[in-house]
Amino acid sequence: MPSSRLDEGMNAVRTTDGTSRMREVPAELPPIARESEAPRGRFRRIGRMRRVIRPLAAAGFALAATAASACPSALAGRTVAVDPATHGFGAVQKQPPLPLQPGEYVVTIDDGPNPKTTPALLDILRSRCIAATFFLVGRNAERHPELVRRIVAEGDGIGSHSFSHRDFGKLSRDGIAEEIWAGMRAVDIAAFGAFDESRRPRRLFRFPGSPGFAPALPPDLVAIANGAGAIVAGYDFSPEDWRNSPPEESFRRLLARLGDRGVILFHDGQSNTLELLPMVLDELERRGARVVRLAIGDG
């Protein structure tokens, strides 16, 4: 629903003009010290298994290009812990940045799960030995709990993205609170079979796009999300892949905006993203960057 995603397409503007923004991106980033091993044992084993049992054609060109790589890969970064006391993060939402080092990026994927694209996205991530965070729409999670369980089993993070991705700009504050709560509940039940309300603040929540919130989230909405036990998960850079424009176009758009670290937003359910994601990961690896895994606290 592109009309409700206008603010998802916005990107962090860290400089005042496009030229200086481009200069922020070094051709080669310095090596980054690994503070902890990125892929966990189960994660690595699944990655190896998939490379053996899945024919290359199953994931198409995207997997074929990197299927021979070993885990952990050069792209696999550390796990970054989000402080449970954090109210939110992400420059586009005017929230504080995550504690990332230069060359560290977080891959986030909104709007799933979607049986047409989520499995292929997971294959791409596994072929690179990296983990992403999926921001799931509650009603999609209800329809496809098996995909939610696969995401969790393979070591990716999950957050919620409202229950029905309605335009929050047209909802009352009570309606917004209900959408947030019902979305978290549906995602937890799909993933873990139960919803423990006392587990707070232990969840990530990303607001669905709405032009009514640009350019920043109203503080009371952040408070509503925090009150529901959620950390507001914003982002820093978007290729606006929700436009489903040619992947080369989305790729150029992202690179023009990409700072030296931050959270990148992709979308599930978009065919172009299946081509775009490997292009972006190739570019990050070429620069010596790392994709880090997000965890809340010690989780």
> Binding residues for Zn ion, per CB under 5 A?
110-111, 208
Q: Which is nearer to Zn ion, 113 or 208 (CB)?
A: 208
Written as six digits, the tokens of 141 are: 């999670």
CA pair distance 117, 142, nearest whole angstrom: 17
Q: Which is nearer to Zn ion, 136 or 258 (CB)?
A: 136
Q: Which is nearer to Zn ion, 110 or 123 (CB)?
A: 110
Q: Which is nearer to Zn ion, 71 or 137 (CB)?
A: 137
Q: Within a 10 A sphere around the Cβ of 28, how many other Cβ atoms? A: 10
CB of 162 to Zn ion, least distance (A): 8
Whether 243 contacts 9, CB under 8 Å: yes
CB of 39 to Zn ion, least distance (A): 27
Q: For residue 9, which of 221, 266, 233, 272 has the smallest C-alpha distance? A: 266
CB of 178 to Zn ion, least distance (A): 18
CA pair distance 222, 180, nearest whole angstrom: 11
CB of 32 to Zn ion, least distance (A): 30
Closest-approach residue to Zn ion (CB): 110
Q: Which is nearer to Zn ion, 110 or 154 (CB)?
A: 110
Q: Which is nearer to Zn ion, 181 or 266 (CB)?
A: 266
Q: For residue 80, which of 139, 134, 131 has the smallest C-alpha distance? A: 131
Whether 167 contacts 4, CB under 8 Å: yes
Q: Which is nearer to Zn ion, 122 or 137 (CB)?
A: 137
CA pair distance 179, 19, nearest whole angstrom: 40
Written as six digits, the tokens of 266 are: 């992709």
CB of 220 to Zn ion, least distance (A): 21
CA angle centred on 47, ends 90 and 42, rounded to 5°: 80
CA pair distance 145, 68, nearest whole angstrom: 30
> Amino acid letter at 139?
R
Whether 119 contacts 54, CB under 8 Å: no
CB of 264 to Zn ion, least distance (A): 14
CB of 53 to Zn ion, least distance (A): 32
